[in-house]
Amino acid sequence: MTVERGIMLVVGVLVLASVLLAVYVNINWLWLTGILGAHLIQASFTGLCPVVMILKKLGLPQKAGFS
């Protein structure tokens, strides 16, 4: 697994979890989905993403792009 695929995995799991929590626990969990979306937009402009830093420290390799 690469850093890029790890990011997609982490964000996908968090979005799915927040939607399921909103359906079965409390609708306010959808705020987490909104925050994740806002962070993805912010990260696309600044290049700053804490998940990337964590995955790099775990030793995952990076690729130049998706293939």
Q: pTM for this one?
A: 0.81
Read off the pLDDT of each residue in 14-36 and give the average, rounded to a whole number. 96
- Percent of the chain at pLDDT above 90? 67
What is residue 58's DSSP assignment? T
How confident is residue 67, by pLDDT bands cut at 50, 70 and 90? very low
Read off the pLDDT of each residue in 31-58 and give the average, rounded to a whole number. 92
Q: Residue 47: what pLDDT?
A: 86
DSSP letters, 2-46, are -HHHHHHHHHHHHHHHHHHHHHHT-GGGHHHHHHHHHHHHHHHHH
